[in-house]
């Protein structure tokens, strides 16, 4: 892993962060996260929940033929940003986060490997508006 120290300009530009924005039933990945995971319009994304610690939620790009949670689409209302409709995931996250229906969470760059697949943790314990 190559360490990166965030600067003040990073704080002003969310596209320079690996984040997921939760709004309504939609999830919006930042440009940096989309590029990191290699997702684009039409990609399949899988979310995993640790049943022993349900506040731990993970994301990864699903390969062709695998079970997936959401399909990434281009959202015209948000000036062409990518979005995923995953109401079950949003509802689960909302049950563990003391925030209103719209908030942002960071995603770790260091994966955990389960059954040979890399998952990246969504930091639901540190959400912000």
DSSP bridge pairs for 121: 58
> Which token pair is 71?
């399909």
pLDDT digits (tens, 9 = 90+) for 8-50: 454 444 445 889 888 878 888 988 899 999 998 888 898 888 8
Q: Please indicate whether residue 44 or residue 97 has the higher confidence score (pLDDT).
A: 44
pLDDT in tens, 72-94: 888 665 556 788 888 788 887 87
Cα–Cα distances in Å, from 124 out to 23, 49, 74, 107?
14, 12, 25, 9
Mean pLDDT of 124-129: 73
CA atoms of 83 and 22, how far apart (whole Å): 10
**pTM of this structure:** 0.77
Alpha helices in 1-129 (DSSP H): 8-12, 31-37, 87-96
């Amino acid at each position: 892993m190559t360490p990166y120290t965030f600067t003040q300009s990073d704080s002003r530009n969310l596209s320079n962060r690996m984040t997921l924005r939760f709004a309504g039933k939609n999830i919006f990945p930042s440009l940096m996260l989309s590029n990191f995971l290699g997702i684009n319009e039409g990609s399949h994304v899988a979310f995993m929940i640790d049943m022993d610690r349900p506040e731990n939620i993970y994301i990864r790009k699903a390969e062709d033929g695998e079970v997936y949670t959401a399909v990434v689409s281009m959202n015209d209302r948000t000036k062409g940003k990518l979005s995923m409709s995953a109401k079950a995931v949003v509802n689960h996250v909302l049950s563990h986060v003391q925030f209103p229906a719209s908030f942002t969470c960071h995603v770790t760059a260091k994966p955990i490997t389960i059954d040979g697949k890399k998952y990246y943790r969504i930091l639901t314990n540190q959400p912000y508006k």
